[in-house]
Structure 1
């Protein structure tokens, strides 16, 4: 795992565009995050192509199903040797335990707690009475008990979770620069704030991909860390 905590979110539908962007900023990022859009479009082949850059690959697939199905899916991506894979903590302890058991020895399995696009009103609408902080803490505790490596949470929760899970591995998405657009993210902090609070990995997409000069943007973000 690189010392640079920045993982570039390359959720792009075209493989050539993803490769070009990754090459452009490779010297100022620590890894590449590939989400559902990319994986559904390009599958194993696309992952293999981006692995040629020599950077760790984070497969952000957010697996969520019955334990047997999630374990089988984890085995199916085993050959890709991803550095990090995400599952959903709301799948329950048995699902998380089976996912970890099926993962490769060098793959960190981390559970998504509360998506950064959700706030208290959104949680209430799906029947969850806890606020995002309470829910994230509860699911982090369950993830730790299930033997996972860590969790995914917003920068607002990572500090509190880090206090209760000292050696956990914490992935923080939804990061924006102070003067940047929030887009569909609701619970955001800056990369520096997240790192100071205990984030292990900083997932950054649009602030780099959407910049006029992506290399300069990646370099500037790295400099703040």
Structure 2
């Protein structure tokens, strides 16, 4: 999967206000072309942030993790598509029927409107979950095996990829092929705080493991010089061929 480093880095906009978003986007300038908009921000400012980023010619991963009955998820995705995001996502644990219905309806709606269809990816197992949490909800498969199983299920349902920890990326790449998107949160440059992530890796390790895109938030936005932090991350990413 050949992409430039700055197309593979997704900076997470984990803010509450448009003022904070605009300040960081202006600071980072051309060094970042892809941004993640999650629940914290979207629930505060709504679609305005996606429209702002598109006006700035930025790509958008709208990370809302839809998880409901098939018809509701499919309808929600079709509504979100109109905002212009490049990637949307659902929870793979919603099951094959939910994912297949969502993918089919999203593609049909995009074709009907004559617009490009966003990529649709599935959450496998949240990167904050450790083995104790996993056992606590009654799961019996090891996390890595469950992640691969969910990734293969998402692919069979017609999705374009998954969100998974960098520690499982190599197994997913082997199981699902080269064209499957693997978006990895839980990426921490050397020396960064772990915070609430459990299954983490450095940018170089995540890419070597097969990740197609890296989502990085706190190490950028909490840096004394966010642009310098991005440039250091990109430099590390470029060492991986």
Q: TM-score band, normalised by the shorter chain?
A: over 0.9
Tell me how many residue pairs correspond in the alignment.
225
Is 2:26 the counterpart of 1:17? no
Specify the alignment match of 1:126 in structure 2.
137
Instruction: State the match for 1:41 in structure 2.
Output: 44
Task: Write the distance in 2 (CA, Å) between the matches of 1:215 and 1:84.
Answer: 24
1:56 paired to 2:59: yes
| TM-score (normalizing by structure 2) | 0.90
Distance in 1 between residues matched to 2:105 and 2:29, nearest whole Å: 30
Distance 1:38 1:184 in 2: 18
Secondary structure of 1:188's counterpart equals: coil
Deviation at 1:181, TM superposition (A): 0.4
Which stretches of structure 1, 4 residues or more, deviate above 3 A after TM superposition?
A: none
Contact 2:39 2:63 in 1 (8 A): yes
Match of 1:94 in 2: 97
SS where residue 32 of structure 1 aligns? strand
Moved more, 193-202 or 146-155: 193-202
Q: CA RMSD in A?
A: 1.4
CA distance in 2, matches of 1:211, 1:128: 37
Deviations 1:139-179 (A, max 9, x none): 01111110100001000000111011112111000110121
Once residues 131 and 142 of structure 2 are traced to their aligned partners in structure 1, the CA distance between those partners, rounded to angstroms, is: 5
TM-score, scaled to structure 1? 0.96
Q: 1:29 aligns with which of 25, 28, 32?
A: 32
Instruction: Say which SS state the counterpart of residue 156 (structure 1) adopts.
Output: coil
Matched, 1:138 2:149: yes
User: Which 5+ residue runs of structure 2 have no aligned equivalent?
Assistant: 111-115
**Cα shift at 1:44:** 1.3
Question: What are the ranges of 5 or more consecutive residues in structure 1 without an aligned counterpart?
Answer: none
